[in-house]
């Protein structure tokens, strides 16, 4: 693990399912960390790991050199940064890393508003789920100024592998593309599971048989196992998967793109979430497809 610069004070806002293990990786790397979460119990749980709890976002960022946000959506990020008084509390030269998954246009808007205050902004969403967050192996897609991203390399390295993918908003575009692949592949694996069982084969044996072949993937490894074992406690929820797919299609519409696979899988996730599957893991799309094939 990269050795931290102990002089850097970091505020981490949003210590939920993904944020908590990411914060722990920073603490394990030796960073001084102040944490805040809308549910204070989730932030308090990190105090035993060495974090300092804060009663509000503005209190958390007071004196911070770096602020990391890991929140539900663009509105939540905007509210925390600009409505709660965080941005005004930051000194010029501070850096904000938004690791939430939000719309690219909102990321650009936040970057421009912070730039007016002399604060650098990087949109740096992640892929790898809770497993990657706990292991410090997240894939981090960073949009923004290349020099700013480079200056934050040690911080990113505590949580995973960072790649600078372009200017402001580019990180969010890449995350949406990642979510396209995840959703479509989950749909493909789920449909294949239904096909092989209907045809008389074992789902578990099928998954084992194709491991190492061209159809192998992390989705088959992790989500395919969940489908076989029928364990759908969330790593990533179906509700959040749908949120990302809606954002993908909004961008596609703005760019006059036709994405039939993404459109189709979004329709299935919409039905699954509206049917009560929102809190389940996104691999639980299998349950919806099974209802279509009783």
C-alpha 98/C-alpha 121 separation (Å) is 8
175, 239, 243, 291: the active-site residue? 175
Domains of the chain: 9-167 (3.40.50.720), 173-292 (1.10.1040.10)
3-state secondary structure of 246: helix
Say which DSSP state 276 is in.
Answer: I
Buried b (16+ CB within 10 A) or exposed e, 55-69: eebbbbbbebbbbbb
- Considering only CA atoms, which of 94, 91, 92, 159 is closest in space to residue 124? 159
175 is catalytic: yes
pLDDT in tens, the chain (294 residues): 455 566 689 999 999 989 999 999 999 999 999 999 999 999 999 999 999 999 999 999 999 999 999 998 999 999 999 999 899 999 899 999 999 989 999 999 999 999 999 999 999 999 988 889 999 999 999 999 999 999 999 999 999 999 999 999 999 999 999 999 999 999 999 999 999 999 999 999 999 999 999 999 999 999 999 999 999 998 889 998 999 899 999 999 999 999 999 999 999 999 999 999 999 999 999 999 999 998
pTM over 0.85: yes
């Amino acid at each position: 693990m990269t050795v931290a610069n102990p002089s850097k004070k970091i505020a981490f806002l949003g210590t939920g399912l993904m944020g908590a293990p990411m914060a722990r990786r920073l603490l394990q790397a030796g960073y001084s960390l102040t944490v805040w979460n809308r549910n204070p119990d989730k932030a308090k749980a990190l105090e035993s790991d060495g974090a300092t709890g804060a009663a509000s976002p503005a209190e958390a960022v007071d004196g911070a050199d770096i602020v990391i946000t890991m929140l539900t959506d663009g509105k939540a990020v905007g509210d925390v940064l600009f409505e709660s008084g965080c941005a005004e509390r930051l000194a010029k030269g501070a850096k904000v890393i938004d690791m939430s998954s939000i719309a690219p246009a909102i990321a650009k808007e936040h970057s421009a508003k912070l730039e007016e205050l002399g604060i650098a902004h990087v949109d740096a969403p992640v892929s790898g789920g809770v497993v990657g967050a706990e292991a410090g192996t997240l894939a981090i897609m960073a949009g923004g100024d290349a020099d700013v991203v480079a200056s934050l390399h040690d911080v990113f390295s505590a949580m995973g592998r960072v790649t600078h993918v372009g200017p402001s908003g580019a990180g969010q575009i890449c995350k949406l593309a990642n979510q396209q692949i995840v959703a479509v592949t989950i749909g493909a694996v789920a449909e294949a599971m239904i096909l092989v069982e209907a045809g008389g084969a074992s789902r578990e044996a099928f998954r084992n048989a194709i491991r190492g072949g061209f159809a192998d993937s992390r989705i088959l490894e992790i989500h395919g196992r969940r489908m076989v074992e029928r364990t759908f406690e969330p790593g990533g929820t179906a509700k959040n998967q749908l949120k990302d797919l809606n954002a993908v299609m909004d961008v596609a519409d703005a760019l006059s793109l036709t994405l039939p696979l993404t459109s189709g899988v979004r329709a299935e996730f919409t039905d699954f979430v509206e049917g009560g599957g929102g809190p389940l893991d996104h691999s639980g799309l299998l349950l919806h497809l099974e209802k279509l094939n009783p």
